[in-house]
Structure 1
């Protein structure tokens, strides 16, 4: 289209001026070539829109305005996704890091360049609330980490947390009469005396579903404390009180999310600390312990 692209930027010369006759002839030819080329390249829908346009310049200007506006909207959408993205507790850390990489690729595709330091520091800020202490640790490091280095540290920390939660759960299971399973959604306790804080649930308002399709009512919920031989206390919140459960159970998934250790408080109110040597609590998969206990999952 060399020699005719002038029709994309110039309107038809004034044909009433005799000296413009040559220019009008050249423009008319250029406009014809450009107009037909543009219309042939359009989809059927856009062809119907622009076929009535007589000048190639009008078609060209309209298309530029349309698609530049769409580019701006797309950029705003991509930036918004990147800004509002947060890491959440219930999702695999590697999956979320892959999501972050995808957002960065979308940013780059829009020709938006972000400094490496900014990309790394923002990922630290996006860590979920249970990572607050580790976030502070990363922020106080003197060395500026690249994104790959930061991701490696985060994955190692996540692996260590999972191993610690599993080991802790196994230790609790050995010490107390519990069943541990990573498939369970809730902690359940059969013994109301184990609760240090308790709220009743209205009759018939809440149930748990067992693996054999039976349901059993929840009478209340609250906090239960597990005592370790080291003297430390593990506090489990939102524990369901289900008297009909014959085996007290613990959810590894919830334990990994809400694990919080605190030192035993030496006070006269020692009866608020529950020793777990002879009784256990919490929700998980009902394993077959004896003839009186059903097997299946609690949901």
Structure 2
């Protein structure tokens, strides 16, 4: 079983040099390789009768070895090649025929390897380290054919064939004054490639974070207090406009919707008090003797009655948003607007 592990791959017409070396090793292990170099024994003309037994034994041994060697070689060929070369008389004839055909063909393959080496170009869609190893394999093919390739020449070729996105790194390597080995170059390429992969991951995460929909919400719940205790009470005005009844709505919470320059607040109130007539969509002078109680505990006349703010029950608070922590707060001037538009419930 251990000898079978030494058996070469089945030759189908490609990579003859590799197969040839493997087959020679296999024939040597089987102790039949000698028939490829030692010709068949011939009985000398002047051999004595006593020597004939020795020579006949040598010829028989050689024939048996040749038979084994020939069939080992044939079994290493594909079926088509087996049928073609089976007609050869001896193992050496078979071996010589294979070398004559495929050694000549691989001489042309040598030129093809050189052409592949010169035309090889790395791309951005494959690992640079893997492509460097592929280029080195082609270089080894050329060297195995007897053509010398200087190590520094191979280094210069690998650097020159780096993909376009590696232009800056390529230039930095070209400007190195100290020579380095192939192993050192491959290590540098591996480190650079890992660094680029990490940078790409960070860019993707950053881009995902930037493109993620921003959902920010804040709730403002003004602390309840009596109107007479308010520190931000505006100066009392002599008149106020009212919608039907002297009832003021108080905002309990508001929601911030991202993407707006300020906050639009829906009070949900059905009746409002306001000192500014322009805030009403419809307005009519008050003909009844109606009054409204103000925050300083005195009353004033109702100048007119209207329906809705100019924004249909919505008004805008000036809000600044903290860009760092996504928190929100009201401008100080917004408090005055709050009081001016909604007043207080007494």
Q: What TM-score does the superposition give when structure 1 sets the normalisation length?
A: 0.40
- Return the index of the structure with the highest Cα Rg: 2
More strand by share: 1
Q: What TM-score does the superposition give when structure 2 sets the normalisation length?
A: 0.36
Choose between structure 1 and 2 for higher RCO, CA contacts under 8 A separated by at least 6 residues: 1
